[in-house]
Amino acid sequence: MTRLDSRQIWVLTIRVGLVAAVLALAAWILDRPAREWGIPASALPGATLALGLGATVIVPRRRYRRWGYREGADELEIRRGTLIRVRTIVPFPRVQHIDVAQGPIQRPFGLATLILHTAGTHGAAVPLPGLAMADAEAMRDRIRGKIREDLA
């Protein structure tokens, strides 16, 4: 299995950090009503902040280690998941179109997400995040070439 680009750890860290910050803000807002329920002052925001910081350090690395992919001759295999492990196999003949997307957090790191769109409803869009932009574009072109060979 090929690992994602190591810069993906930073992207995951920022995402988890943003969620932790929003939860800490919500806890801070709820701190005053919580005191009326008998919860000590700043206990809720403090606990939320501590858990958020811990999650920001631990979760991204675990998620990164659980992602991997293998590009075969006629399929792409993607493995992911920390609690629930998922193995997705996308046969190239089922691919209808391929996108390379780059979100605002990925862009500064030069990373992109390859998205394979297949026929069907469940799992019709299969993302593979954390690829260097050049690698995502090269993989898109290789898969497109394999699809064209199958059609010929």
Tens digit of each residue's pLDDT (9 = 90 or more) over 53-75: 999 999 999 999 999 999 999 99
Q: Identify the architecture of domain 69-151 in CATH.
A: Roll (2.30)
What are the φ/ψ torsions at residue 111 (nearest 5 degrees)?
A: -105, 160
Question: Are the C-beta atoms of residues 112 and 128 closer than 8 Å to each other?
Answer: no
What local confidence, expressed as pLDDT, does residue 33 receive?
Answer: 75
Confidence of residue 120 (pLDDT cuts 50, 70, 90): confident
Closest CA to 15 of 102, 99, 83, 104: 104
Confidence of residue 16 (pLDDT cuts 50, 70, 90): very high
4 is written with which tokens? 């994602």
Surface-to-core class of residue 78, CB atoms within 10 Å of its CB (0-12 exposed, 13-18 middle, 19+ buried) = buried
The alpha carbon of residue 4 and the mean position of all alpha carbons in its chain are separated, in whole angstroms, by: 10
pTM for this one?
0.85
Q: What angle do CA 71, 137, 145 make, to 5 degrees?
A: 60
Enumerate residues 6+ apart whose C-beta is below 8 A from 134.
Answer: none
- HEC sequence for 79-91: EECCCCCEEEEEE
